[in-house]
Amino acid sequence: MRIRIATYNIHRAIGRDNREAPERIADVLSELDADLVALQEVGYEADRPGNMLEYLAKTMQARVIEGMTLLDERGNYGNAILTRLPVNSLHLHDISVAGREPRGAIELQLQVKGIEMQIIATHLGLRPGERRQQIERLIALFNDSPAEVKILLGDLNEWFLWGRPLRSLYRLFGRTPAPPTFPGRRPWFALDRIWVQPVTALEQLQVHKSVISRQASDHLPLVADLRIR
């Protein structure tokens, strides 16, 4: 069984030209052709028919799972998942740290062709101590799950490859490639990550670089092709 997943920080659909253009994000999603995409920095007006999140889901012909973390003058803001895969259950987790920007995680339980999968999508905080606490909470969720395949994806905001949060994830998932995704024009930092257990299920991991993706956001999408036996 082959599945394609991706994580993409869309930066409110504001591109390198400082113009908000959801159609460019939609074009990138069409290029990815993924079964499931975790989105970060999603901003939209929930009460507006055909809002940006609904528009992006329609582009993928996917179900929307919202994981908004705050409400500001421009509307809802936070995480989301667009999925074509069937979802058995979902949970929204508040992993905020006091005094910092609210953060959340979306946990999905899937069963695809008889294989149980746990997927957690998130966007971690900016400070190292904040990320350490958040990673500890996420690891506890994985340890409590009996799923055969476990996946963590999102913008981990970890600038240092030797940071303690990453060392904790290495112990759980094993060593995983970390190609740079930020900034989009000339990426240097591996902020966006996909981790898979067992690591043998990860067939290919690559950054999606195209003319549109380099313009659409300040991050590039990270795409993983899974082969699950």
For 86-127, write each residue's pLDDT tens digit. Answer: 999 999 999 999 999 999 999 999 998 899 999 999 999 999
Domains of the chain (ranges plus CATH)? 2-227 (3.60.10.10)
How many CB atoms lie under 10 A from the CB of residue 146?
8
Model pLDDT for residues 117-170, shown as the tens digit of each residue: 999 999 999 999 999 999 999 999 999 999 999 999 999 998 876 677 788 899
3-state class (DSSP) for residue 172: helix
3-state class (DSSP) for residue 31: helix
For position 126, what pLDDT does the model report? Answer: 92
Could you list the beta-strand ranges (E) of 18-74.
36-44, 63-72
The pTM score is 0.95
- The residue behind tokens 């949060």 is 165
Model pLDDT for residues 191-224, shown as the tens digit of each residue: 999 999 999 999 999 999 999 999 999 999 999 9
Burial class (CB in 10 A: 0-12, 13-18, 19+), 19: exposed
Contact 96, 104 (CB under 8 A): yes
pLDDT band at 36 (very low <50, low <70, confident <90, very high): very high
φ, ψ dihedrals at 131, nearest 5°: -65, -35
Q: Are strands 222-227 and 202-207 parallel, antiparallel or unpaired?
A: antiparallel
Q: Is residue 46 predicted with pLDDT exceeding 80? A: no
For position 166, what pLDDT does the model report? Answer: 86
Q: Tell me: cis bond preceding 221? Omega within 30 of 0 counts.
A: no
- For residue 187, the surrounding DSSP H or E stretch is none
